[in-house]
Structure 1
Amino acid sequence: SQVEFASSMLQGRALTWWNTLVQTRGRAAAIAQSWEDFKKLLMEEYCPDDEVEKLESEFWNHKMVGSDINGYIAKFHELARLVPHMVTPESQRVNRYTRGLTSKIKAHVTSSQPATIQGAMSMANRLTTDGIKDGFFRKKENVGNKKRSNDQSRNRGRDDRNKRQRT
């Protein structure tokens, strides 16, 4: 069973917790519990409510940055695995995913109403790739540096002229 296999992989503090559970309930009853019950017990023991709330908040605020669709997807999957109740059923998973996309990508993906997360991700990936090719995405740090260097060169001559001469 899943419970028997998972419990055989426990180490350290988790193994001590499991052994205490086996002593309390008996080995047969502990192993016979459902996978859902086992996961619930583990969550109660090792995932305090405040930590789950932090993960939920992080997931709620997770956004795609620039054209980094792969980074967005990787973090999305990681958070979805840690707080699965936020992405169940599939329609909620699609909604949560599209919510964090950049505005123009989100508008296109949302209007197509994808039924699956794979459909939404595929479309967002394609749109992002096209956006990069078309120059829609620019690296913010380059834009900021260009502006700063232009401002500095423009102001070089003015700084001395605008200063008041001391007499």
Structure 2
Amino acid sequence: MVVEEVKKAIEASIPRLAQEVEGQVLEVANTMVTSKVEELKEMISELQVKKSKRRCTYKEFMACNPLPYKGDVDPIACQRWISSTEAVFTRSRCEVEDQVMFATGLLQFRAKDWWDAYSKELGDDKVQSLTWQEFKESFLKYYSPQSAIDKIQEDFLRLRQKDETIDEITNKFLERVKFCEEIAGTERQRIVRYHAMLKAEYREFVNPSKCATLNELIDWARDREIEIKRQVERGEKRVAEKPTNASPSKKARHQDQSKKGKQVVKSRPARRVGSIIRVNVCRERRGATNVGEKDIRFIGAQKTQRRVTIAMNRGTLNRNVRNSNKGQREMERRTSPPRLAEGCFS
């Protein structure tokens, strides 16, 4: 009886004991996991602190491929170099106190000569404490003078699109508009200036009043450029597919024949009065009253040497005209009045 009661008591306490053991195991596991997570967080924070405290080296700075500067007195190139160098400062996480030292390593040729002379004037102590802003002011004063900026502003006012594409003329516009705050300081002024700079074939189809930003106007101009190129291609294709006229027109043939027929008028000395003469004639007809195969003239003028100019419209006749007998010629000479023939008789 006692043994059975003990068995029943043990069986009834087993589930409770299992739950207590399971709870203790889970508690120990959670404690261990929590401690490990905290350790990992501490390790990550330490790595971040070490990384933030590490200074950027010149090798890492040069690995970002910064642009060199050779010393051209050009405000556009000068501003472009400054913007590129400042972007490299951000990418390489260059320290503020190292910016001037790293940037001056990019100066070449005339720019290097200027920095050498300028750093001697400042002295070593001042160079070591020179900030990027102070360096930039001296740099811009020397390589971006006001006279060069005035020249850029004049070029900006005269800027007009000629043979450039939209992208090319846009680049020129954006390069110069940075120095024209007084002329094109607002977005609306830049839009109006850009529209006035374009060719007429773009201005007619691009409305600046419907554009809220300059980029929107540029996109419209690019779309118009694509449309113009397509129209040109279609026009050239039609010209290439147009059949050539194999047989010339009637007017063209007439002009060609008239050109072929034009020759210099020939002349022959007149023979004695009453004689019948034969002459080679030209193609061009000038003043002739009769056109035919034969060219016979009766000379009834005085017995002198005269020149008779004869012009015909068709071919040259080279036919021998045989005379009749002397009696017939004498009869013709007597019946014809003395005159100089003005036409051709067949």
Residue identity matched to 1:43: S
1:157 matches 2:256: yes
The answer to which structure has the higher helix fraction is 1
CA distance in 1, matches of 2:261, 2:147: 61
Structure 1 segment 9-158 matched on structure 2, within 5 A: 9-25=106-122, 26-27=126-127, 28-29=129-130, 31-33=132-134, 35=136, 38-44=139-145, 49=148, 53=151, 56-57=154-155, 60-65=158-163, 71-78=165-172, 80-82=174-176, 84-86=178-180, 88-135=185-232, 157=256
CA distance in 1, matches of 2:199, 2:139: 38
> CA 1:34–1:109 in structure 2 vs 1: closer, same or farther (change >3 Å)?
farther
> CA 1:117–1:42 in structure 2 vs 1: closer, same or farther (change >3 Å)?
same
CA RMSD in angstroms, aligned pairs only: 4.1
> CA 1:132–1:17 in structure 2 vs 1: closer, same or farther (change >3 Å)?
same
After superposition, give the CA deviation of every residue in 1:94-136 in whole Å (9 maximum; x if it has no partner).
2332222221421332344423221011111112223333459
TM-score, with length taken from structure 1: 0.60
Q: Which moved more, 1:113-122 or 1:73-82?
A: 73-82
Give the SS at the match of 2:144. Answer: helix
Shift of 1:10: 1.0
Structure 1's unaligned 5+ residue stretches are 143-153
Residue identity matched to 2:170: F
Report what 1:7 is aligned to. Answer: 104
Give the SS at the match of 2:204. Answer: helix
In the alignment, is the contact (CA less than 8 A) between 1:131 and 1:137 conserved in 2? no
After superposition, give the CA deviation of every residue in 1:26-55 in whole Å (9 maximum; x if it has no partner).
4134744164553233213xx964x96278
The answer to which structure has the higher strand fraction is 2
CA distance in 1, matches of 2:202, 2:143: 38
TM-score, with length taken from structure 2: 0.33
> CA 1:8–1:110 in structure 2 vs 1: closer, same or farther (change >3 Å)?
farther
Structure 2's unaligned 5+ residue stretches are 1-84, 87-98, 240-251, 267-346
CA distance in 2, matches of 1:59, 1:138: 35
Show structure 1 runs of 4+ deviating over 4 A. 134-139, 161-164
> CA 1:103–1:32 in structure 2 vs 1: closer, same or farther (change >3 Å)?
closer
CA distance in 1, matches of 2:117, 2:210: 49
Larger Rg: 2
Residue identity matched to 1:24: E
CA distance in 1, matches of 2:235, 2:136: 47
In the alignment, is the contact (CA less than 8 A) between 2:166 and 2:225 conserved in 1? no
Shift of 1:77: 1.1
Aligned pair count?
A: 146
